[in-house]
């Protein structure tokens, strides 16, 4: 299998770095972190999981340690009393439930698409368009 290309800091766009800086400063509405390609057996589809908020970024090393293994993600909605903020967190642990996975050719094709996306863009949404928008 081809090794993933290393991305050096200077290869990031100005827009990406701006979003990353705002996300790490916990500016509302900005996310930045590692993104993982997941196989979701329940729906028999691949999906992307951006670990972009501070809670998810802290859990990201645990997800990374389980790469190429079956992993269960437990998602938790965090809504502290007295806080005006709420967010999602996750816990990752090794999966013990048997599951069917796609054949090797399908896996390799999806991994290749994930590593080399057609377009790379930063998405900005106007505040007036955020209401009612799915995350």
Does the pTM exceed 0.85? no
The mean per-residue pLDDT over the stretch 59-83 comes to: 90
The pLDDT tens digits of the residues spanning 76-86 come to 999 999 988 88
Domain ranges of the chain: 9-117
CB-based contacts of 115: which residues, under 8 Å, 6+ apart?
4, 5
Does residue 133 surpass a pLDDT of 60?
A: no
Mean pLDDT of 19-41: 84
Q: Summarize the confidence of residues 28-55 as an average pLDDT.
A: 88
pLDDT at residue 131, rounded to an integer? 56
- Collapse the DSSP code of 91 into the 3-class scheme (helix H, G, I; strand E, B; otherwise coil) and give the result: strand
Q: What is the DSSP string of 28-86?
A: TT----EEEEEEETTTTEEEEEEE-SHHHHHHHHHHHHTTTS-EEEEEEEE--TT-S--
């Amino acid at each position: 299998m081809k090794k993933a290309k290393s991305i050096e800091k200077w290869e990031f766009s100005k827009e990406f770095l701006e979003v990353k800086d705002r996300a790490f400063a916990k500016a509302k509405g900005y996310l930045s972190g590692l993104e993982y390609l997941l196989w979701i057996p329940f729906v028999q589809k691949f999906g992307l999981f951006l670990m972009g908020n501070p809670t998810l970024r802290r859990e990201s090393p645990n997800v990374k340690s389980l790469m190429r293994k079956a992993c269960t993600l437990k998602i938790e909605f965090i809504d502290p009393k007295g806080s005006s903020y709420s967010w999602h967190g996750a816990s990752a642990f090794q999966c013990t439930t048997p599951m069917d996975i796609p054949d090797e050719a399908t896996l390799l094709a999806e991994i290749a698409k994930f590593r080399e996306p057609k377009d790379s863009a930063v998405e900005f949404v106007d505040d007036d368009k955020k209401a009612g928008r799915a995350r």
